Structure 1
Amino acid sequence: MLSHTSNLHRWLTMASLMLAGEAIFLLPYMRKTFQTSLEEVFRISSFELGFLSSMFGLLALACYLPGGWLADRISVRRLLSFSLIATGAGGLVMLAIPTYPLMLALHAFWGVTSILTFWAALLKATRLWGTSETQGTSFGLLEGGRGATAAVMATLATTAFAFAGGDANPRAGLVAVIYVYTGAPLLSGIIVWFLLAEDPPMRGTAKSSAEGLLRRALTTPKVWFMAGIIFFAYLIFTGSYYFPAYAERGLGESKLFGAQLGTFRDWLRPIAAIFAGLIADRIGVTRGITIGFSTLALLYGSLWAVPSSASSYQLLFAQVTVISVMLFALRGIYFALMEECRIPLALTGISIGLVSMIAYTPDIFSHLIAGWFLDTHAGAEGFRYFFGFLATMATVGLALILTLNRRLQ
C-alpha cells in the first residue's frame, strides 16, 4: 500500500485515509452539532446524553491497546473496511429511534468498531505515508482531509435537517441527519476495500510478543509525555462540541443557527490542520503545540470572563473561529510528536495504542463534566463555568509541552 509505486496511488491512498478517518466518527459524535435535537427526540437530559458518550469512551479505552497490537499484524485494508461497514450498520439501527438502553449498547458497539480495528491502523498508515522530515505534513494532511470530510458531511447533514423541517419537527430532521451519517461510513468502507492494497506486517513485530512490545513502550518516557499532551489537547477539544448549544441556550439563537455554527466550525478544520502541519515541519512540532495551548488558555478564558449578556453572535463567531483554528491545529500535529520524540517504527502500533488509551479517556468523563455544569447551572452560566474549566486544562497542557521541549533539547 505504501510503496509509493506511483504518485497517483500515493495520493489516492491519503485521500482514502482522509475519508475513512472521519466517516467512522460521524454517528458517535453527532452531538457536536445536533445536541439539543438528540436530547429532544430521544427524550434524554444533557447528563444522559453525556453518558452515551461515556459508554463509547469506556469501550474505546478498552480497545486502544489491543488495537495497536492488531495494527502491526493484520492488513490495514481489512481492518479499516470492516470497521467502517460495521459502524454504518449501527446507524441503520439508530434510524428506528431506539430506546435509551439500546442507544447505550449502540455506543458501546461503536466504541469497538471505531477503535479496536480502526484507530491505530489509520495512524500507522499515516506515519508510514510520510518521511521522517514530513511527519507534520502527513498528519496535518490526514487531519485536514478528515476536516474537509467533516465539513462536507456537516453541510449535507445541516441541509438535510433544514429540508426535513428540523426546527419545527426535530424528529424528522434528526432522521434525515442519521441517513446522511450512516451512508458515509458504508460508502467509505467500500472505497477503502477497492483502493487500498494488502500490506505486510512491520519488520520486527511479527516475531515480537505483545508483552515485549508493550514493555518497551511502557519504559519509553517520551511516550508518556505524548500521552499527557494529547490528553489535555483532546480534553479541551471536547469543549468545541458545545458551541452550537451555547449559541442556542446562552444567546437565544435557533436550532438551525446552532447547526450552522457547528458547520462553520467544521469548515475551519481542514485549513487549520494542513497549515499547522506545514508550519510545524518548519518551526518544530513542540513549538507549534506550545503556541496552540497558549492561545487556547486565553480564548477559553475569554468565554468564561465575558458574560452572555455582553456577548453577541459576532463576538461568539470570532471566539469560535480562533479557538477552532487552534484546536484543529493541535489535532493536526500532536501525533507527529512520534518522530520528534524518536519513537522506533517497530513500536508505532503499540505506542499509538498506549498513548491513545490514556489520551482519549476524556471521552469517558468530559461530557459528564459538561453535563453536570449545564444541568447544575441554568442557561449560559453552566457553559461559562465549563469553558473556564477548559482554560485551566489548557494551561496544564502548556506546562507539559514546555517540559517535554526542555527534555528534547
Structure 2
Amino acid sequence: MQHSPWRRWITLAIISFSGGVSFDLAYLRYIYQIPMAKFMGFSNTEIGLIMSTFGITAIILYAPSGVIADKFSHRKMITSAMIITGLLGFIMATYPPLWVMLLIQVAFAITTILMLWSVSIKAASMLGDSSEQGKIMGWMEGLRGVGVMSLAVFTMWAFSRFAPDDANSLKTVIMIYSVVYILLGILCWFFVADGTSQNAPGAVADKKTFQLSDILSVLRISTTWYCSLIIFGVYTIYAILSYSTNYLTEMYGMSLVAASYMGIVINKIFRAFCGPLGGIITTYSRVKSPTRVIQILSVVSALTLAALLATNSQPQSVAIGIGLILLLAFTCYASRGLYFACPGEARTPTFIMGTTVGICSVIGFLPDVFVYPIVGHWQDTLPAAEAYRNMWMMGLCAVCMVIVFTFLLFRKIKGEEQCRSITSLE
C-alpha cells in the first residue's frame, strides 16, 4: 500500500498538515491575544500563564513521546491525537474559566506532543530510505508551513466577518480549527500506516522490537547528541528571529505595520517555502547529505550574523537590514526542514527512531526556555543597540556550535559508510 508514490506523498501531506496545525489552538495567543482577553475574560498575565503551562508540559513530554512512537501504532496515535485535540477545542469554544483552560493546555500538550510529535516525524521518515530523508523532512517542514499559513488566513477571514464586539468571532475561529483537526484525524486513519518498518520503501525491516532499556542505548549513541545540539543551535536562531519586528522598529525606525508585515513574511511565508528548498538542495545538487547542507547553511548564517553585528551600532540602510534578516531566515528555515533528517542519515535503527527524535527534541528545543527571558531582559535593561548586539552574538555562538557538530556528525557518518564498504568487500 505504501509503495505507491502518489499515496506516499498524500500521506506525507496529511501527516505534515496535522503536525503543523495541531499546535494552533494551544498557541492561539500568537494571533488572537487581544480577542482572548476581550471575549474569554483573561488578563495578559493569565494568558501568559496559559502559554507557559503548555510549554512546561511539552518539555516534559518530548522524551516519552519518542517511546510512544516506537511502541504504538502510528495510525492509531495520530488519528486519536487529532480527534481528541478537536474535541478539546469544542470545550475551549465555550470560553471556560482559567482553571479549565489550564487543564485544556495540559491536555493539548498530551495530544500534540506526547501522542503526535515524535510519531508524526517517525511516520514521515519511514516513507523513504536513508537517502531520501532530506527530501522528506524538507517537504514535511514546508507542508507544515503551508497548512499553518492557509488555515491562519482562512480563520482570520472568518474572524473579520463579525462585528468587532461580537464574541462569536473568536468562538468561530476555535470551532473551525476543531472541525479541521477531526477531519484530518479521519484522513490519518485511512492513509497513515501502523508503523512497522516494512512500510518504508527500500528499507530493510528491523527484526528487533523496542525495549525500554533501549532508551539508555540511544543516550549512549554519539550521533544522538550531535543531532540534538545541531537542532539546539538552529532553534536558537529560530527563536531569535521572532525579534525581527522589534529590531527593525527600534534600530531602523520602520513603522510597526511595515515591520509586522515583515514578521508575517519571515514566520509564515518563509517557513512554507524554505523548508522544501533544503530538501531540493539535498536531492538535486551535488551535496546529497542533509548534514552537509545544514553545515553550509550555517556558514552562510555565521557570515550574515557577522554583518548584522557590523551594522548594528550604526544602522544605515533599512534595505540592508531587511536583506540580512531575510537571508538569516532562509538559512534557518532551510535547516529546520533538514535537521530531523540527520538521525535518518546517520542510519538510526527504525525501532529506536522515535526515542531518538524525542530525546533530540528535549535537548534541541531548550532555547524555548531561556532565549525569550534573556533577550527580554536585555531589551528592558540595556540600550537597544547593546541589547541587539548581545542577541546577535548569542546567535553567532549557536551557529558556530552547529558548524562544529555537523562536522562531527558528517565525519561519523562517512566513517561508518567506509566500515560498511570494507565489510561488504570482505
In the alignment, the residues of structure 2 paired with residue 61 and residue 396 of structure 1 have an alpha-carbon distance, to the nearest angstrom, of 22
1:195 aligns with 2:196: no
In the alignment, the residues of structure 2 paired with residue 36 and residue 113 of structure 1 have an alpha-carbon distance, to the nearest angstrom, of 26
In the alignment, the residues of structure 1 paired with residue 31 and residue 318 of structure 2 have an alpha-carbon distance, to the nearest angstrom, of 17
Aligned counterpart, 2:6: 8
In the alignment, the residues of structure 2 paired with residue 324 and residue 174 of structure 1 have an alpha-carbon distance, to the nearest angstrom, of 31
In the alignment, the residues of structure 2 paired with residue 74 and residue 9 of structure 1 have an alpha-carbon distance, to the nearest angstrom, of 22
1:269 aligns with 2:276: no
SS in 1 for 2:264: helix
Give CA deviations for 1:173-228 in whole Å, capped at 9, x if unaligned: 766654554444233223222333544477657754211x1122122111111111
Amino acid at match of 1:115: I
**Matching of residues 160-179 of structure 1 within 5 Å:** 160=158, 178-179=174-175
Aligned counterpart, 2:281: 279
In the alignment, the residues of structure 2 paired with residue 63 and residue 159 of structure 1 have an alpha-carbon distance, to the nearest angstrom, of 34
Aligned counterpart, 1:227: 228
CA distance change for structure 1 residues 83 and 380 in 2, over 3 Å: closer, same or farther?
farther
In the alignment, the residues of structure 1 paired with residue 309 and residue 89 of structure 2 have an alpha-carbon distance, to the nearest angstrom, of 36
Q: Which has the higher contact order (CA 8 A, sep 6+)?
A: 1
Aligned counterpart, 1:142: 140
**How far apart are residue 310 of structure 1 and its match?**
4.1
SS in 2 for 1:353: helix
**Matching of residues 1-400 of structure 1 within 5 Å:** 3-4=2-3, 6-30=4-28, 42-44=42-44, 52-95=50-93, 102-160=100-158, 178-200=174-196, 207-211=209-213, 213-244=214-245, 251=253, 253-254=255-256, 258=260, 261-263=263-265, 265-281=267-283, 282-283=286-287, 284-300=289-305, 302-303=307-308, 306=311, 310=315, 314-315=319-320, 317-376=322-381, 385-400=390-405
In the alignment, the residues of structure 2 paired with residue 291 and residue 49 of structure 1 have an alpha-carbon distance, to the nearest angstrom, of 40
Amino acid at match of 1:262: I
Unpaired runs of at least 5, structure 2: 199-204, 415-426
Identity between Structure 1 and Structure 2 (%): 28
In the alignment, the residues of structure 2 paired with residue 386 and residue 35 of structure 1 have an alpha-carbon distance, to the nearest angstrom, of 26
**How far apart are residue 94 of structure 1 and its match?**
4.2
Amino acid at match of 2:276: I
Q: TM-score under structure 1 normalisation?
A: 0.82
In the alignment, the residues of structure 2 paired with residue 21 and residue 121 of structure 1 have an alpha-carbon distance, to the nearest angstrom, of 10
CA distance change for structure 1 residues 407 and 204 in 2, over 3 Å: closer, same or farther?
closer
Matched pairs, number: 402
Give CA deviations for 1:109-140 in whole Å, capped at 9, x if unaligned: 22221111111111111111012221111111
SS in 1 for 2:114: coil
**How far apart are residue 171 of structure 1 and its match?**
8.2
- Which is worse superposed, 377-386 or 269-278? 377-386
Amino acid at match of 2:255: E
Unpaired runs of at least 5, structure 1: none
**Kept in 2: contact 1:300–1:390 (CA 8 A):** yes
In the alignment, the residues of structure 2 paired with residue 163 and residue 242 of structure 1 have an alpha-carbon distance, to the nearest angstrom, of 30
Q: TM-score under structure 2 normalisation?
A: 0.79
**Kept in 1: contact 2:197–2:350 (CA 8 A):** no
In the alignment, the residues of structure 1 paired with residue 404 and residue 300 of structure 2 have an alpha-carbon distance, to the nearest angstrom, of 13
In the alignment, the residues of structure 2 paired with residue 100 and residue 313 of structure 1 have an alpha-carbon distance, to the nearest angstrom, of 43
